[in-house]
């Protein structure tokens, strides 16, 4: 089985003297691992391709027992430079990649995940200013896209319109509610101010190239991040512990 595709390089490692392994994000298969035999030597077959965050076109072949993939050759479509030089941007990109890998992308969700990762890396490379909350925006959007969308237009209990209101996130239910309905439940709840509601709502729709306008007010940033991470911890089962994402 062989195929050619545009993929993103998530992680690269060396083994033996000149061989490499790579973790790639494919728009049809999700996260895959592949070997590039002679990858660190062959300038002809992999010229400038096998670096983290690159967008590459690759020809891939399954190993004889189909246990892993072998990269046959690759071309660089889009590399990054500012992203590698700027420690803050680099840290944000690594954080997004690690979260995506912890999440585990299945083929059904691969196209959306590939688009989100690609556009996030482009934003980090191209923009003069990267949104400070970019990794949180990324986590929220990835979860929403992969089956954990959050209804924010109306209270999940009484149907009252939520935008403009101080709403609540019911953690166990994974739903938003108006304050009166939230008080009537025994669920854990977190405050969702009007700005958090509108940011979360916009993140369901806006692609990363429009995230500039979502710069949350510093006062609302903590509330927003807390709501996203509590939702992800409870429903997706991923938490940030000791400097890394862990599956709980």
User: Would you give the binding string for Zn ion spanning residues 128-167, x where CB under 5 A is met?
Assistant: ---------------------------x-xx-x-------
Do 106 and 147 touch, CB atoms closer than 8 A? no
Q: Which helix (H) or strand (E) holds 88?
A: helix 87-103
* Phi, psi (rounded to 5 degrees) for 59: -105, 125
Interface of this chain with Zn ion, residues 71 to 100, rule: CB under 5 A: none
User: Would you give the binding string for Zn ion spanning residues 176-215, x where CB under 5 A is met?
Assistant: --x--x----------------------------------
**Paired strand residues for 71:** 60
The CB-of-152 to Zn ion minimum distance in angstroms stands at 13
The CB-of-107 to Zn ion minimum distance in angstroms stands at 38
- d(C-alpha 187, C-alpha 173), whole Å: 7
23 touches Zn ion (CB under 5 A): no
Closer to Zn ion by Cβ: residue 158 or 246: 158
The CB-of-146 to Zn ion minimum distance in angstroms stands at 27
Do 26 and 7 touch, CB atoms closer than 8 A? yes
Closest by CA position to 17, among listed 48, 34, 33, 41: 41
- d(C-alpha 11, C-alpha 33), whole Å: 9
Closer to Zn ion by Cβ: residue 134 or 182: 182
Closer to Zn ion by Cβ: residue 152 or 178: 178
Binding site for Zn ion (CB under 5 A): 155, 157-158, 160, 178, 181
């Amino acid at each position: 089985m062989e195929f050619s595709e545009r993929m993103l390089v998530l992680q690269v490692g060396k083994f033996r003297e000149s061989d490499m392994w790579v973790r790639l994000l494919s728009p049809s298969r999700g996260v895959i691992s592949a070997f590039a035999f002679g990858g660190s030597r062959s300038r002809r077959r992999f010229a400038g391709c096998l670096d983290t965050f690159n967008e590459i076109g690759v020809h891939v072949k399954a190993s004889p027992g189909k246990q892993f993939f072998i990269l046959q050759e690759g071309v660089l479509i889009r590399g990054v430079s500012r992203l590698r030089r700027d420690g803050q941007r680099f840290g944000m990109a690594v954080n997004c990649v690690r979260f995506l890998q912890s999440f585990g992308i299945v083929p059904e969700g691969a196209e959306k995940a590939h688009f989100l990762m690609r556009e996030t890396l482009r934003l980090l490379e191209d923009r003069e200013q990267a949104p400070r909350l970019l990794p949180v925006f990324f986590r929220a959007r990835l979860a929403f896209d992969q089956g954990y969308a959050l209804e924010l237009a109306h209270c999940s209990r009484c149907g009252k319109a939520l935008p403009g209101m101080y709403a609540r996130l019911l953690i166990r239910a994974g739903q938003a509610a108006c304050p009166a309905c939230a008080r009537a439940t025994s669920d854990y709840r977190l405050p969702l101010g009007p700005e958090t509601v509108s940011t979360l709502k916009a993140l369901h729709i806006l692609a990363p190239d429009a995230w500039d306008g979502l710069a949350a007010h510093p006062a609302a940033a903590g509330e927003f991040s807390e709501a996203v991470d509590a939702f992800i911890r409870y429903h997706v089962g991923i938490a940030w512990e000791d400097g890394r994402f862990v599956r709980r």
